[in-house]
């Protein structure tokens, strides 16, 4: 969601550089502030993923943090030395490098930590076109893409439980806590095939070090398919 801002920042940077002689003070301040912001953001990434070590780990996160911190400091120092063009250029290059790392390295790590690829790999050849697939109280939009089929999405228990009572086989995904809360309304009709952690990267959760909640994959035909 934030990546489209990078071309806009690059365009604004180009405009600032082209007008640097007309507004030297503003350009210098922009380079210094931008450098400091990028450096602080990079230092924060390093602290979170190197020192705090949250439940989610991304191999490229330290590299992203280091690139942002180093590039931001360089831009701020260049601005302080009145090397205005070099400062703005360094800040823009840093942003582009961080964006490249996010796309090439971080996004692939993100996808691997999501539960959907593991769920789809588990289902594999077990699932047929006649089976019902449903989720309850969890957002897994990419599951439609991976399975190339309809997925019923519910946030109320009644329709989800109704799917579990259909004659054909049903596969359901829901938080383990909700599975326990539904009690005998669901557990007498289903059994758990797989447990795996959900993927919910929230700043509060990362800073607290809390473990992600578990999801369960259930079926209404308890002989392992």
33-45 per-position pLDDT tens digit: 888 999 999 999 8
Fold (CATH) for 115-219? D-Maltodextrin-Binding Protein; domain 2 (3.40.190)
User: Which DSSP string corresponds to the chain?
Assistant: --TTHHHHHHHHHHHHHHTTTTSHHHHHHHHHHHHHHHHHHHHHHHIIIIII--SS--TTHHHHHHHHHHHHHHHHHHHHTT-HHHHHHHHHHHHHHHHHHIIIIIHHHHHHHSHHHHHHHHHGGG--TTSEEEEES---THHHHHHTS--EEESSHHHHHHHHTSSS-EEEEEEHHHHHHHTHHHHTT-EEEEEEE-----HHHHHHTPPPPEEEEEESS-S--
- 17 pLDDT band (50/70/90 cuts)? low
- 208 pLDDT band (50/70/90 cuts)? low
Task: For the chain, give every domain's residue range.
Answer: 5-112, 115-219
Instruction: Write the pLDDT tens digit of every residue in 83-132.
Output: 877 887 888 889 889 888 888 888 777 777 788 888 988 988 889 989 99
Instruction: Write the pLDDT tens digit of every residue in 118-162.
Output: 898 898 888 998 999 999 999 888 889 888 899 999 999 999 999
């Amino acid at each position: 969601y934030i990546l489209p801002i990078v071309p806009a920042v690059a365009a604004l940077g180009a405009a600032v550089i082209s007008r640097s002689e007309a507004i030297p003070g503003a350009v210098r301040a922009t380079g210094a502030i931008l450098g400091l912001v990028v450096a602080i953001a990079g230092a924060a990434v390093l602290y979170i993923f190197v020192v705090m070590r949250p439940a989610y780990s991304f191999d490229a996160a330290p590299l992203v943090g280091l690139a942002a911190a180093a590039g931001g400091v360089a831009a701020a120092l260049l601005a302080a030395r009145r090397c205005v063009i070099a400062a703005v250029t360094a800040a823009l290059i840093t942003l582009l490098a961080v964006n490249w790392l996010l796309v090439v390295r971080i996004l692939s790590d993100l996808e691997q930590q999501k539960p959907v690829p593991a769920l789809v790999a588990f289902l594999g050849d077990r699932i047929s076109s006649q089976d019902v697939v449903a989720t309850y109280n969890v957002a897994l939009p990419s599951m439609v893409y991976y399975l190339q089929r309809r997925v019923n999405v519910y946030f109320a228990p009644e329709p989800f439980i109704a799917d579990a009572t259909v004659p054909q086989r049903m596969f359901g995904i829901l938080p383990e806590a909700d599975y326990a809360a539904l009690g005998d309304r669901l557990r007498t009709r289903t059994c758990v095939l797989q447990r795996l952690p959900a993927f919910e990267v929230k700043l509060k959760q990362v800073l607290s070090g809390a473990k992600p909640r578990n999801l369960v994959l259930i079926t209404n035909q308890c002989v392992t398919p």
